[in-house]
Structure 1
């Protein structure tokens, strides 16, 4: 069979590898054909890379190989050539010291795989929470046509007749065991009910939040975020996304066309409306940095502060992702934002339609799950950005998951120097702590942990839990799982490992939290604070090899997205020189 390139509106990037009859083209096509691909697949049709984060050690993504096949069907139907490419998969449930440490290397690996291989467009198959931002970051850096496809949340869990949210009930049941209200046997029996199907967390944890952010940004088809992993409509979404990416290549519709400042503002307001994870703050800042959009913590407070949380979903509310989908999913929330004048309606999406066009006719099927604007879960949702002498560059708190009576609080600090110190002392009966105190955890930021682990939602001392107390003010430079809850101040910047004021807080100091006025204050004289900072010596040893060293030397603070400094900016995907 002879090779004759087909006509396409423009020369495709992949033809630099596969087009023509040169030695190099025959070399590239020849090796690909050992998989049984017909020669006419290389005739000039778009080559679509399906970047698959499938891994059996990433449980949320373990079903993505099936979805990849559905994406392939769609690509073939639309006249494209799909190629499945495994990429770095960071699981929050298994990676140590924390998956967040590897988000940036995953993004770097994805970027180089796109840049160095013959792809004209990209479908990102994602699920567990770090896979969504890492693939978005890598794709944004290359700026080839890209569409996101999420794996979807798992089915609802039930235990003893109670609706059980994955992640959220881990914290609740663990606290109940420490308080003596639940036996360890009951806790272990509940394990099977927490994760009873394929998919990511069924609460509004970071996985569901980031799936929602991808959709709100316009980088996924409308409705993508909430379809359960095992619902047949998830497969349909994958197939339709496969069809759509081929047209996106034809139209040359790139991430830079979609990821505008207006798109990020839409996502921030959506995050407020759904009670999304504070982790979205770091991830969106990092994604914006890759595409060259000027986004800051101040934008989070400005855009999200007056947006009511209308989604009644754990950990802030009572329902789970299944009910969210049945109620109409994220399109209903985005429509509500548009009706309230809180949406940039003309923002372009990967569908080719505007943000408003694709949601204006959707219907809310359950107003207990997605509440009307006059009956929100929290009147002022969003992410509160706090500043003060304890957090000069900012810190964040999620009001919808906090206790209203603790939003203005002054308490005595009980300090833990690192996570090991916390674990060693938290349940010591002699620990001088009560419910009025402020728990402070240091050295758990991007450099300190290393990687900024989800340890900010410190479990309360057993002796406090036994009194029936369920929340205390907690402050750290760490992150918190999106499935968790409480009056928890996170991402304190600069972090303790960089010598920020958090590093010199001492037990017995008084700390003032004033969320309405966005203030976080260490109540000591300025002279004393300066004296302590001047005398501070870092307890963190610099790694001397491997990725840990690269990460330590180049990771930025949480206030700017915790990306590696040399990865910021869109570098494009030029075709390199062929060495064969």
Structure 2
């Protein structure tokens, strides 16, 4: 099969001359004849601190590509730093995917290595690869090493939420809190908890897009560079085999990703990302699949925020493949990986080295810990809850709604001593969905009222149309769809309405009749809080973003293009 790059470089005409001459710059003549051109789509950026080390990782990939006979071409792509960009990195996930797709399609590239780490970068890269359908392999940047403070390990993200609540409760001084800051981030790499970054790396491996055994290698570990070299070599082989995402990413692949998500106690954000990736491929995946496949899978990985340990411990204990060995009977055995081999073929020779970190099936961290999909008159298109991160006694609860129209409204009133709220109340935050904010920010795990924290309350039922960080915890009903800004029932809930959560029955309801719900209209303050951008990407996003239950992609990006061909120019 002729190389795609030959469309640019082959021949003796003026266009081929221009393409070769401008790229020559010291390369030998045979660089353009029969040698696969491998892009290294690199999300390294100083403003994406979790990905800043990927330039060094890219150098190891380059060596592997060269060694295998390819030509490596580093391609900086749009990078999203979860902790830095405002209002939320999720606002630009679709833009990053679209921009990467267009650059891969526009350039003389035969295959691509996708370098990601921080939360949105791996999902965006996979969405792009699925759409352009060039031979592609993901290389995750890996988690950071474990930091310590006052003799205890720090979970990146999770301990930020915990320590900040203790400051608000008056049990930790602001000075001690500030002192922990320099210990929180010990090294290069993304969050060391089972947050979205770790979750998406592990899930991407289960999906088959990463060389098995690579996801979870800590960022400073020299074995990551070894894996990078090996991945560069594989990228050249993928071109020769014409092994594109569409040739191995099937419904069975997503089945295995969902089993993995449950077994590792992964982030709820993986749901919206996997739905978006499946949508690009044309794979029929719904939120109900997450409940059907994963809800009763035991959580075996004892990591924060659901457990005790951190990603460095998971790697030491045997890594993802050791986890999957424990749930092998739940996996679809035919699903293949980017290497051409089946995922289950990699499970024969793995060992669990620490059964405290990776629990056996006979002694799980949580017997049924997958993400549960809720429906009811408050979420007709569905909502999510992560039982493993919730308080068991709150998974069935009835309480009076205390409603906030925006995150700004919430911040302005949550610590007001006069706020009519108690431990049984249900905090409701709306206007935080894909359209309403816009971008669906990670605000669903709302901080609790200061006056309740002072009384020892550490969890309450919370309901929101936004997301929450994978490093967060609590009894949080999130991704409520349709969102308030799209006319969902959440838009007409009032303070004082009774909210009923029954996770076992998969229900989230407001105690109002259908007739009452139908006659209510949103308050002026509710509507005024919705996003109303006038120009640029935000305007395009609000006009075209779909709801959370389908992956929050843009409507005109769903479905693979089925072609990596670009129109000729010059």
TM-score when normalising by structure 1: 0.97
**Quick check: 2:133–2:564 contact (8 Å CA) kept in 1?**
no
How many residue pairs match? The answer is 568
* Residue 559 (structure 2) pairs with residue 576 (structure 1): no
CA–CA separation in structure 1 for the residues paired with 2:74 and 2:15: 22
Paired residue for 1:213?
A: 203
**Aligned twin of 2:10:** 19
The match for 1:361 among 335, 344, 349 is 349
1:476 to 439, 464, 467: 464
What is the CA–CA distance in structure 2 between the aligned matches of 1:542 and 1:534, rounded to whole Å? Answer: 16
Q: Aligned match of 1:28 in 16, 19, 24?
A: 19
Matches within 5 A, 1:488-503: 488-503=476-491
SS at match of 2:115: strand
SS of 1:322's partner is: helix
Preserved contact between residue 56 and residue 62 of structure 1 (Cα < 8 Å): yes
Matching residue of 1:405: 393
* Structure 2 counterpart of 1:185: 175
**1:234-253 deviation per Cα after TM superposition (whole angstroms, max 9, x unaligned):** 11111111111111111111
Aligned to 2:229: 239
- Write out per-residue CA displacement over residues 257-288 of structure 1, whole angstroms, 9 at most, x where no aligned residue: 22100000100010000000000000000000
The answer on 1:441 being equivalent to 2:429 is yes
* Preserved contact between residue 499 and residue 533 of structure 1 (Cα < 8 Å): no
Separation in structure 2 between the aligned mates of residue 38 and residue 430 of structure 1, nearest angstrom: 75
User: Could you tell me how far 1:289 is from its partner in structure 2?
Assistant: 0.2
**Mapping of 1:123-134 within 5 angstroms?**
123-134=113-124
For residues 43 and 460 of structure 1, the distance between their equivalents in structure 2, rounded to whole angstroms, comes to 63
Alignment of structure 1 residues 278-317 onto 2, 5 Å: 278-317=268-307
Judge conservation of contact 1:114–1:573 (CA < 8 Å) in 2.
no
Report if aligned partners of 1:204, 1:277 keep a CA contact under 8 Å in 2.
yes
Q: CA deviation at 1:59?
A: 0.4
1:538 equivalent in structure 2 = 527
How much has 1:576 moved relative to structure 2? 2.5
Task: Check the 8 A contact 2:544/2:554 in 1, yes or no.
Answer: yes
Residue in structure 2 matched with residue 7 of structure 1 by the alignment: none
Q: In 2, are the aligned partners of 1:217 and 1:258 still within 8 Å (CA)? A: no
Following superposition, the deviation at residue 525 of structure 1 comes to: 2.2
1:461 to 424, 436, 449: 449
Q: Is the partner of 1:357 in helix, strand or coil?
A: helix
1:430 to 418, 423, 431: 418
Shift of 1:206: 0.2
Q: Do residues 319 (structure 1) and 309 (structure 2) align?
A: yes
Per-residue Cα deviation, 1:523-565 (whole angstroms, up to 9, x for no partner): 1222211111488873325322101110000000001000000
> Which of the numbers 160, 163, 167 marks the counterpart of 1:173?
163
Q: Where does 1:518-537 land on structure 2 (aligned, <5 Å)?
A: 518-533=506-521
Q: Deviations over 1:337-361 (max 9, x none)?
A: 21xx200122110111101111221
Q: Is the 8 A contact 1:257 1:348 kept in 2?
A: no
Going from structure 1 to structure 2, the CA distance change for 1:574 and 1:226 (only over 3 Å counts) comes to closer
Return the alpha-carbon distance in structure 2 between the equivalents of residues 253 and 334 of structure 1: 24
- Alignment gaps of 5+ in structure 1: 1-9
Q: 2: distance between equivalents of 1:295 and 1:419?
A: 31
2:327 corresponds in structure 1 to 337
Partner Cα separation in structure 2 for residue 321 and residue 573 of structure 1: 38
Distance 1:173 1:535 in 2: 36
**Equivalent residue number for residue 227 of structure 1:** 217
Contact 2:492 2:522 in 1 (8 A): no
What SS does structure 1 have at the residue aligned with 2:180? helix
Instruction: Name the stretch that deviates more: 24-33 or 198-207.
Output: 24-33
Q: Aligned to 2:102, what secondary structure does the other structure show?
A: helix
Of the three residues 244, 247, 250, the one matched with 1:254 is 244
Report the counterpart of residue 373 of structure 2 in structure 1.
385
Pick closer, same or farther for the CA change 1:85–1:541 going to 2, 3 Å. closer
Write the deviation string for residues 454-493 of structure 1: whole angstroms up to 9, x where unpaired: 0000010111111111110000001000000000000000
Give yes or no for contact 1:501–1:533 (8 Å, CA) kept in 2.
no
Please provide the CA RMSD for this pair.
Answer: 1.1
Q: Secondary structure at the match of 1:356?
A: helix
The one of 63, 67, 90 equivalent to 2:80 is 90
- For residues 172 and 416 of structure 1, the distance between their equivalents in structure 2, rounded to whole angstroms, comes to 23
Match of 2:90 in 1: 100
- Judge conservation of contact 1:19–1:44 (CA < 8 Å) in 2: no
TM-score if structure 2 supplies the norm length? Answer: 0.98
**CA shift at 1:437, angstroms?**
0.6
